[in-house]
Chain A
């Protein structure tokens, strides 16, 4: 207890020096906390926004096999499927039919590959709210059965303006080539790399393009209450559906998806097989981006902490030198070597904890300030924001881990000077004049 008090007093004796060291530690801690929180928020927001844009967290796609062995993606009768979903009592906000066309849009000689989702717009309140339109209106879109919404950058690449007619080429469910005229009724704010997934049409018209019936569709999308329940609800629904419907096994990641497709092509089966995927399966690549962000942040923090550690080591060497006579006196009064080392390490620990606490407070303040800015939905970065606001998801476990790391590094930096102080014979120390 006495050692703690002395360590604390020693730090107070050289306030300016302690504060400078603490600020350096706080700065490093703040950087790593913010980068990590930003990366976590980035992943959360992209997943949530994409869930809204593609109308779902869980997706159930139907597969049939044609007599020639071709895979046909279609759900013809969903009564059993819908009944099972109702029985599952999922924490869902929306269950929506959708047909996805892997299309090529052609306008005036230019062509762009584009996914177009055919939707029943009446059952898409969340998407209607979420769509950030650059030009045109949703009312015009809803009034035109041939209406199409594209991302502004896709429209720009094609050179097409709202109100103009484009040709959309796609394969029917059974593989025939088909072409239809659409009218661009609105453009959305660019979604960056997601723009080619960001095309919308009317379910009936897209069904016509794919030559499937008006009551049929390709995928049932289920929008859950939030991302945190996706894996749990997917597991629960799958267990319920598996005994009743011909479900394909769950898989992990993009590689699993391709393997399953290979298996479907290879094997012989009849009827409709259902594949359940989640938003997490689709966006596993986003985790890589977040991981890269965290690694970049960690590298910056590592460089910062290396510099800070060198500073701490030098400062503590200076402190030991300055306090040599004091160490000699304390040793002469009965302070053991171990206690001497502990005294300096305690000072370093206080410094790191104080610095980290300061860094955390600073990070939280910056977080509140940055989160308060409303960038609006009218920006290409909207996809990584929550309703136009940046998100910094500070995870307590990560904070504790950083805290432990900073403390360990600071102790390591102070260990060498502390050992030197402990090793100094009391008589020699007392003879020293500084």
Chain B
């Protein structure tokens, strides 16, 4: 559990705001790769989150706003906010909204098995997790975590029936002040062979964000 808490701590920003830009490149067999970009703002200590789509042009200005338990999706076309769920995939990719959010492994899961092994040239903890409640997307998770610094290298996500649904790989990390944040991730759909999404993180910042960012009016005016 200490490792899970350490992973959560490294991915959460309880004492500062966090903003970053994401580029997602989604590949499907016999299709051209699709690219979309987004800018994310997080204030984890107040459970606030904003995601604004920058590309493709057709989705520019769409966004999510979460304040406490409420999550809204904003569509500039209709100029309307609708209640939403963060569980959906980000556009047509294998990445999920929840991949950009706070990590809560230590509260959502308990350790089922733990072992030491290797992944490539790294010695890793191999930890199997079982959900502690029935509202997490993946009831089963398997982690490969470096033993020397607790960086997550690989994650396997399992369905309720125990089938492997998605594998995540985190080959690169970038230092943002005193912590390491995954700067590249690869999400592989295990049910649809050949479908994968690569995520690249840039423009990271821990600077304090204005309160107005976490409001509906921000989403309304951000791309006007």
Contact = CB atoms under 8 A, between A and B. Distances in A.
6 contacts: A68-B135, A70-B135, A109-B195, A175-B134, A179-B160, A180-B161
Contact of A262 (B83, B87, B139): B83
Contacts of A70: 135
Contact of A174 (B83, B135, B159, B161): B135
A15 interface: no
A171 B82 contact: no
Interface in A105-124: 106, 109-111
A109 B192 contact: yes
B3 to A, nearest CB: 24
Nearest to A210: B160
Contacts of A262: 82-83
Interface of A: 66, 68-70, 106, 109-111, 167, 169, 171-172, 174-180, 211, 258, 261-262, 265-266
Contacts of A106: 191-192
A178 B192 contact: no
A109 B194 contact: yes
A68 B191 contact: no
A167 B191 CA distance: 8
Contacts, number: 64
B134 A172 contact: yes
Interface in B146-162: 157, 159-161
A108 B70 CA distance: 38
Contacts of A167: 191
A258 B134 contact: no
A178 B160 contact: yes
Given A176-B138, A176-B160, A69 B69 contact: yes
B159 A178 contact: yes
Nearest to B157: A177
Contacts of A66: 135
B161 A258 contact: no
B134 to A, nearest CB: 4
Given A68-B69, A109-B29, A172-B134, A177 B191 contact: no
A258 to B, nearest CB: 7
B161 A179 contact: yes
Q: Which residue of A109, A175, A262 has the most chain B CB atoms within 10 A of its CB atom?
A: A109
A176 B193 CA distance: 22
A179 B194 contact: no
Interface in B178-195: 191-195
B143 interface: no
B135 A176 contact: yes
A182 to B, nearest CB: 12
